[in-house]
Amino acid sequence: MKNIKDYNLEELKEEFIKLSEKPYRAEQVFKWLYVDKVSSFDEMTNLSKELREKLKKEFKLNNFKILKKQESVDGTKKYLFDLLDGNAIETVLMEYHHGKSICVSTQVGCKMGCKFCASTGINFIRNLSSGEIIEQILAVEREENVTISNVVFMGIGEPLDNFDNVINAIHILNHPKGLKIGARHISISTSGIVPKIIELADMNLQCTLSISLHSTNDAKRSEMMPINKKYNIEELMKACKYYIEKTNKRISFEYALAKENNDNLEDAKELVKLLKNMLCHVNLIPINKIENGTYVKSTNENIIKFRDYLNSKGIVATIRRELGSDIDAACGQLRRKNL
């Protein structure tokens, strides 16, 4: 059965026309889903009973079930969602001073194979549909009775490897008659799929693009992130410059610091060279421990030195707070589960 949350408003109108229903009915349903945030067709009380029955036969609402919920000492919450097909994924809710942010997954598993990340390694199963991406937000809002203001595509999966569904989910998020989460409140993180970065630039969506860089050296980056063998640092930087040129948006480079791997002053110097004169920001992530991982977190002293060096050379660098690491909800710690 079709998942009604897979459709943006324009597509939903077309679906309604196919069902010989008026397009404004689709608008009403869209409002029930994303403004009133109901979880059943029966709550859509301005639709006739007949229409509700018709919709029930045609569409499912696909409300996720929470299989597990964990809360960190810092208030971060992690949910394990049942996708209703035998798979499960994780989503994280974080509290910032500017509001609530959600970190959504985009795939069941990941094909990228980054050595330091727990989301990969286990087999890739499938892409999430746009409705499944959106439902992570709705399910958390229902559970917590909150409104989410920021969405980061930084959970399990490579968002640009599920491009169409991610873009459609963003259209649903953005819509002024729906969730109304503006592009400026959305970040997409990628391991560096160059052609898709270019495609995204051409769309000029005004989302923040985060690039998982982690090293300035091709040999080292390829060792950490196999995708680098396909699109090396030079190609990646070219695509980033194109993104900045097209969108006028600052890029955020993510750099996870691993002890005696990429965290010494030489690395910082190389990073300055690479990013000189670019409209960008560096997000330093103390690398989080994962099961069987070979990388060890840098010392606090090194992390601060690294940041200060970048800042002294005019590159804005901040250290990402390690939210949720006690419940394995921090960067790189999410994983898909078999039921």
CA quadruple 119, 121, 124, 127: dihedral, nearest 10: 20
Query: What is the amino acid identity at position 98?
Result: H
Q: For ligand SAH, which is the closer residue by CB, 145 or 292?
A: 292
Tokens representing residue 156 in the block: 């399990």
Q: For ligand SAH, which is the closer residue by CB, 179 or 256?
A: 256
Contact 47, 28 (CB under 8 A): yes
Taking the C-alpha atoms of residue 327 and residue 143, their distance in angstroms, rounded to an integer, is 19
CA dihedral for 336, 92, 173, 85, sign (positive or negative): positive
Q: How far is CA 268 from the centre of its chain?
A: 27
Q: For ligand SAH, which is the closer residue by CB, 154 or 179?
A: 154
**In whole angstroms, how close is the CB of 318 to ligand SAH at the nearest point?**
14
**In whole angstroms, how close is the CB of 226 to ligand SAH at the nearest point?**
12
Q: Which of 103, 110, 114, 331 is catalytic?
A: 331
Q: For ligand SAH, which is the closer residue by CB, 131 or 332?
A: 332
Q: Write b or e for each residue in 251-285: b if 16 or more Cβ atoms lie within 10 A of its Cβ, otherwise e.
A: bbbbbbbbbebbbeeebbeebbebbeeeebbbbbb
**In whole angstroms, how close is the CB of 271 to ligand SAH at the nearest point?**
15
Distances (CA, A) of 272 to 12, 223, 307, 315: 48, 21, 11, 7
**In whole angstroms, how close is the CB of 155 to ligand SAH at the nearest point?**
7
Taking the C-alpha atoms of residue 183 and residue 190, their distance in angstroms, rounded to an integer, is 16
Q: For ligand SAH, which is the closer residue by CB, 190 or 302?
A: 190
User: What residue ranges bind ligand SAH (CB under 6 A)?
Assistant: 112, 116-117, 154, 158, 189-191, 212, 254, 256, 285, 287-288, 290, 331-332
Question: In this chain, which residue has its C-beta nearest to ligand SAH?
Answer: 332
**In whole angstroms, how close is the CB of 87 to ligand SAH at the nearest point?**
18
- Told to judge if 15 belongs to the known catalytic residues of this protein, a careful annotator would answer no
Taking the C-alpha atoms of residue 252 and residue 188, their distance in angstroms, rounded to an integer, is 10
Q: For ligand SAH, which is the closer residue by CB, 62 or 191?
A: 191
Rg (CA), the chain: 21
Q: Which residue has the tokens 């009973």?
A: 49
The torsion region of residue 86 among left (phi > 0), alpha (psi -120 to 50) and beta comes to: left
Give the residue among 192, 158, 186, 148 at the shortest CA–CA distance from 170: 186
Q: Which of 15, 90, 132, 254 is catalytic?
A: 90
- Told to judge if 90 belongs to the known catalytic residues of this protein, a careful annotator would answer yes
**In whole angstroms, how close is the CB of 282 to ligand SAH at the nearest point?**
12
Positions marked catalytic: 90, 331
